[in-house]
Amino acid sequence: MADFKFNCPHCNQELEALEDMLGQTIACPSCEKNIILAAPAPDFPPAIPPVMSGSMPCPYCGEDVLVQAKKCKHCGEFLDDALRKKADEQAGRTSYNPLHQVQGFVRWFTGLGRLSGFRVGCLLSGAFKRRSHDEVELYFLCGGPHTTPELKDVPTEWPRPWYFWRLLVFGTLILIGFRFGFEEYQCVKLLPGLIIVGGFFVPLACGMLFFEFNVLRNISLFQILKYIMAGGVVSLLASLFMYQFSGLIETFLGATSAGIVEETAKLLTAVFLLRGQAGKRWILNGVAVGAAVGVGFAGFESAGYIFEAGDRGGVSSLDEALVIRAVVSPFCHVVWTAATAGALWRVVHGYGFSMGMFFEWKFLRVFLFVVMLHMFWNSGLLFSMQGISFVYGWILSILGSWYLILLITQEGLDQVKAAKISEPPQTVES
């Protein structure tokens, strides 16, 4: 029998014993304490770490990269934190990127995940493709009992919207036509058309974008137009009532109280319009309907501001108000209401609406963030900031709102994807 060596567990004296003594109890000759002889641990070769395989979407551009990749080959962003920090140090710059910090802040505040597969090209790739009249007609043939696709046929990748660009260009041309006719022929009868188109054409284009984002295609264009008109009127009246009832505008909040009053009124209007429609339980439905209500609110409100400016300061003031309202429209009411409604639809769970939904933290985090953005816009701080606070303020106000709605849309797409896996074949209810 071969000997094996071991150390006494009490005094660490090196000892030897025969293999046939394994399992016996002996006394250590050095410290005289009992030792139970156990088999020595076998010598295994060092473990080889498993090699990761497969691909994952880049968290910055959405393109597929290897799981073990240190740097994205598509957008050039470092995926390894240590390499990113080292590259920043070598470049002599700080690792604190304002855009990345704002994105991180939005995700932290709202509790939403990262974008997956989205690229700015998603919004541009279909804009310049020629389409026949029949293709356009079929594109809007959706949302009815026989024109809503089955869930298994619904795509779950990021859509490629295109009509919203055409609506934006078409609205711009109409506006130019009204403005030219009013200026050239001094025709006062064109003024109402100028004000209405000026107030609505940009919000309408934004609303069309979210209509196209609804890959479920269970809401018709007729319904969207109904939500725009009815939602705009109801939300404005609800806001006026809440201003009068709450008296918040007379407090220290002043104009910033609009964030609380108007966002609440628009959200309640969206819920009112979809009451009893259990089939519209999807997050993307909430986004589309919320956007429609925001379009109506923004359009009617902007038309009022444009009219008021023209009444007080003449044509030059009217033009200034029209341009300002058109420029800020994509970052305000339409996006805000789409986000809050989409966040509320996250907690519907297919059981219909209840008061308890408004107090779920999953919803409140997004709602409070939107209220904060709205109050920030109305505070006037954006135009008084300087230095780095000016940069962060504008990134948060302009890009922050769009980053938020893209995150919610991402969750809506993920919801559809999960439903296709877990549920039996069915039709998306219209």
CA dihedral for 295, 299, 305, 310, sign (positive or negative): positive
pLDDT for 207: 95
CA dihedral for 400, 404, 405, 407, sign (positive or negative): positive
Q: Which two tokens stand for residue 140?
A: 């809007």
pLDDT for 290: 96
Residues 6+ positions from 86 with CB-CB distance below 8 Å? none
Q: Give CA–CA dist 203/196, Å, rounded.
A: 12
Q: Which two tokens stand for residue 56?
A: 């994952």
Q: Give CA–CA dist 362/84, Å, rounded.
A: 32
Q: Which two tokens stand for residue 53?
A: 């395989």
pLDDT for 115: 87
Q: Give CA–CA dist 9/37, Å, rounded.
A: 11
Do residues 69 and 85 lie in contact, with contact meaning Cβ atoms separated by under 8 Å?
Answer: no
CB atoms within 10 A of CB 273: 21
pLDDT for 94: 45
Q: Which two tokens stand for residue 388?
A: 């780095």
Q: Which residue's structure tokens are 């196209």?
A: 212
Residues 6+ positions from 119 with CB-CB distance below 8 Å? 61, 62, 63, 158
Residue 127 main-chain phi, psi, to 5 deg: -70, -35
Beta bridge partners of 25: 36
Concatenated DSSP letters for 362-413? HHHHHHHHHHHHHHHHHHTGGGT--THHHHHHHIIIIIHHHHHHHHHHHHHH
The ranges of the chain with pLDDT < 70 are: 1-4, 38-53, 58-63, 74-77, 84-85, 87-97, 278-279, 349-352, 383, 385-391, 423-430
